[in-house]
Structure 1
Amino acid sequence: MNDSQSPLDKVNSWIKNSVGLKLGTITILMLLLLIPASMIKSIISEREMLNQSVLNEVSQKWAGKQQINGPILTIPLIYEYEIEDGKIITKTKYLYLLPEQLAITGKIEPEKLKRGIYEVVVYKSILDFSGQFKLNSKIDQNGLKEIKYDEAFLTVGISDLRGIKDQITLNWGNQKLDVQPGSKLNDMIISGISIDLPDVSNQINTNIDFSFKLNLQGSQNLSFIPLGSTTKVNLSSTWNSPSFNGNFLPDNREVSDEGFSADWKILQLNRNYPQTWVDKNMRNEMQYSALGVDLIMPLDDYQKSMRSSKYAIMTIALIFLVFFLVEILNGRKIHPFQYTLVGLALCLFYILLISISEHSNFNIAYLISAGITSLMILIYAKSVFKSRKFTGVLTATILGIYGFLFVTLQLADYALLMGSIGLALILGVTMYFTRNINWYKLNMKTE
């Protein structure tokens, strides 16, 4: 019998039996599948940007981020200077005084607003301000003609005035004073309220108590400028995912499923501006000393979906590895087109995840997406493998991958640790099951 093969038959036989060629083909398929995976990431980013635009739109109508800066006591000073030719010029300067004591107590009530399928976190807050001023500042007497104690005024900066929900009344000593809209310190406080004070000339070197209540609503962030010689801030809320920001972290904080509470104590020595100054713009220095809290969504669905898509190449590689080992150990040939269909099914998981999670809980969306994808692959693999044993191995692999990915997504702080441990375990298991394969003899055929 003539066993000789034509060159074409030899090439065909090499193509069918070459392990190296199959590995190269699988690698190329994996790289090509990165194209739909990157497109999926673009879709997730686009949906997240749309969500952010909705958040900004809702914030514009509700009220934006709120920062409270004040109160600042301002007293006009009249100076006269003699210039050449004996002419006298008059110049008005302003003395700025900050509180000796400033205490802020606030309760924040978060709300979730929906716009279509998107959810936005806003809040309402009740803020109590109290403290003391002491009018004992040393003033430059050179050229000083008059101190306008009867024109003194207070300024409180509020970044978004649309968030004020009730009238504000200032308790100044034993008097109740009305509040006017707008800031008189435009260079230092762009947006806020002003209060004209009665003549304070009879209150020199005395402590003047003040207090007021602010019913304020806003979105995402609430922050304060610590203007007191000693500033104490205490905030509490039912929101259980705060992010404390600014130049100072809380001295004490408690965060639980029921909400959070936090308190700060800031001294004037902790900031880079004085308690009193004349005709200087301390806006940048004050901004740098801000402290506050963000009401953030705890690792929202778009972040989770984006993080899960970063594991796409790992998922595809592991499933392809199972298919390749089935070829080696079971002797069944699997066509590259079949690998491609399985890879596309794995990519479909991420599209299902982002689309379903926009309409339901992320965990439910994950379960549905993983279930649909797994079922598709397993039914298809059963007809390809023709083996319950290897189908069972594939089932365990898929359940392990999706289970591992789900746990990793939930543990935001330990994601890198979980990922590295998981990859080490996967590599170890692969090495164990392939330890006895003689890769050099896989292409050899017995005569």
Structure 2
Amino acid sequence: MLRNSVLAKVAGLLLLTVLLCIPLAQIDALNRERGHSQQEAAQELAATYAGPQTLVGPLVVQPYVERWMEPQRDAQGRIVGQEARSKELAHLVFPDRLHIEGRMAPQERYRGIFRIPFYTLDATLDGGFAAFDAASVPRSEKGSTIELGAPYVALHVSDLRGLDGSPALQLGGEALRFQQRLPGLAEDARLANGIHAPLAGAALAAWQAGQPLPFQLKLGLVGQERLAMVPIGEETTAHLTSPWAHPSFGGRFLASERSVTAQGFDARWRVASLVTTAREQVREGVRGAREGKAQAGGMAPQSFDVSLAQPLNVYAMSTRASKYGLLFIGLVLMAAFMFELFRKLRLHPVQYGLVGLSIALFFLLLLALSEKLAFWIAYAGAAGASVLLLAVYFSAVLGGWQRGASFGAYVALLYAALYGLLASESNALLLGSLLIFGMLAALMLATRKVDWYALGGARAAAIAPSAAGVPA
């Protein structure tokens, strides 16, 4: 009969495999939802504690007023008088040299079940400013005069809540105290979110006398995951160390030297002003703010950065694993069908459905366990439970514990192969392709001498007498 034919059974298994895509899709949607919840937790911590940090400075801001006379004309275009005009501007003086020496101490904060990486930066910024020449202040109008204001040292930090105490600044041998905000900048300007220290005492005298000013700034800063530094010096160098063993280097400039071990990372950067437009971007931000143009939506200055990346994002790993769900279900159902076909057994569609659901349940169990345990422990636990369940179940279905154990060993081999795919992200496509090819090759070689027509007919003949003996 048709319902006993091999072809009908294969068609039914294909339909079952398609139907099992429904629970796999639901599990994948749940996985993505949990991943979004983790991102929302990170955003909530950034809003209530501190977010990723971008460091710009220190630099000297020299405010000034440019004054000039502008001719007034009548309706016929004749000059009838002169009108005094003025505008407030700022001249930025960047360090000749800037060296950042710091250590990032990692820490984790919790929002519900989610762990979000933070860091505490303990840094010293050393460098110096060249001698200031009032003649270097640019003029935008012909014949204008310049009136210099009170200069100050500016330090921009993207999230001021992360400041760990007040930074200690020594400029030209004078200790300067920082105050809130950057005077003269609009509140919505990109660089307005900072602090300033007015020049005073020996530092102010040296500035006005046109003498170079060395500086040293000690800074404590808390941030979430990423630290970006803008290279504003004529030559900017940085050296960062941390016990975090999983850094991610990014930004416009990668580290020139870096060492990553199980004990942490050690990275160095060296950026010359010739290869970056960071200074021009900072100037544009200040100039736009002075002219009343909001810079909040503008391009961020070029920077080099480092992030404390999570070694294993459980939601990303679970999502990658679930992408192989349909393949796994197909391979397990294929193995069960081979047992049924060659051992002259008879498995009910419900039994195939239970086997497929057990594989789908593995991915849900993996997601739930990985939120509480290390990923490899969660994977081993979920895979072990799935293998044990299938081995016990097939010991009864296939009529022997040896058959059940061999089927469980096959499923265990598949789970081991999947973990190899997840652990080797760069080679996942190659390994996955080899796995599929190997399974298909094994199936083809094992069945290369099988007479499928005879096998299907013999199976039908074996079933027919027993069916005939059933009383009406």
What TM-score does the superposition give when structure 1 sets the normalisation length? 0.90
Name which of 88, 91, 96 aligns with 1:92.
88
* Identity across matched positions, percent: 29
Q: Structure 1's 356 and 188: CA in aligned 2 closer, same or farther, altered over 3 A?
A: closer
Distance in 1 separating the partners of 2:111 and 2:84: 63
| 1:154 alignment partner in structure 2 | 153
Q: Structure 1's 115 and 77: CA in aligned 2 closer, same or farther, altered over 3 A?
A: closer
Kept in 1: contact 2:249–2:307 (CA 8 A): yes
Distance in 2 separating the partners of 1:220 and 1:32: 42
| 1:31 alignment partner in structure 2 | 18
| 1:193 alignment partner in structure 2 | 195
| 1:374 alignment partner in structure 2 | 387
How much does 1:127 deviate?
Answer: 1.3
Name which of 124, 134, 154 aligns with 2:120.
124
Distance in 1 separating the partners of 2:38 and 2:454: 56
| 1:22 alignment partner in structure 2 | 9
How much does 1:352 deviate?
Answer: 1.3
When structure 1 is superposed on structure 2, of 339-348 and 427-436 the one drifting more is: 427-436
How much does 1:132 deviate?
Answer: 1.1
Correspondence 1:164-175 to 2 at 5 A: 164-175=163-174
Name which of 294, 308, 323 aligns with 2:321.
308
For these two proteins, the number of residue pairs brought into alignment is 433
| 1:384 alignment partner in structure 2 | 397
Gaps of 5+ in 2: 73-80, 290-294, 463-472
Distance in 1 separating the partners of 2:103 and 2:373: 30
What one-letter code is carried by the residue in structure 2 that aligns with 1:41? D
Q: Deviations over 1:383-441 (max 9, x none)?
A: 22124554344122111011111222222333223222222222222222121212233
Distance in 2 separating the partners of 1:274 and 1:126: 25
Q: Deviations over 1:122-178 (max 9, x none)?
A: 111101111111124733464342341x51112111111111111222211011111
Kept in 1: contact 2:396–2:404 (CA 8 A): no
Tell whether 2:227 aligns with 1:222.
Answer: yes
What one-letter code is carried by the residue in structure 2 that aligns with 1:177? L
Distance in 2 separating the partners of 1:46 and 1:274: 41
SS at match of 2:245: coil
| 1:77 alignment partner in structure 2 | 64
How much does 1:285 deviate?
Answer: 8.5
How much does 1:323 deviate?
Answer: 1.0
Correspondence 1:272-283 to 2 at 5 A: 272=277, 280-281=287-288
Kept in 2: contact 1:77–1:144 (CA 8 A): no
Q: Structure 1's 209 and 371: CA in aligned 2 closer, same or farther, altered over 3 A?
A: same
What one-letter code is carried by the residue in structure 2 that aligns with 1:193? I
| 2:268 alignment partner in structure 1 | 263
Kept in 1: contact 2:64–2:147 (CA 8 A): yes
Gaps of 5+ in 1: 1-12
| 1:180 alignment partner in structure 2 | 179
SS at match of 2:136: coil
What one-letter code is carried by the residue in structure 2 that aligns with 1:138? S
Distance in 2 separating the partners of 1:238 and 1:122: 13
Tell whether 2:411 aligns with 1:404.
Answer: no
What one-letter code is carried by the residue in structure 1 that aligns with 2:255? P
Cα RMSD after superposing both structures: 2.3
Tell whether 2:249 aligns with 1:244.
Answer: yes
Kept in 2: contact 1:67–1:224 (CA 8 A): yes
Kept in 1: contact 2:231–2:278 (CA 8 A): no
Kept in 1: contact 2:393–2:404 (CA 8 A): no
SS at match of 2:287: coil
SS at match of 2:395: helix
Q: Structure 1's 69 and 217: CA in aligned 2 closer, same or farther, altered over 3 A?
A: same
Distance in 2 separating the partners of 1:397 and 1:434: 18
Name which of 429, 442, 447 aligns with 1:416.
429
Distance in 2 separating the partners of 1:317 and 1:417: 20
How much does 1:205 deviate?
Answer: 4.7
Kept in 2: contact 1:299–1:412 (CA 8 A): no
Distance in 1 separating the partners of 2:357 and 2:264: 43
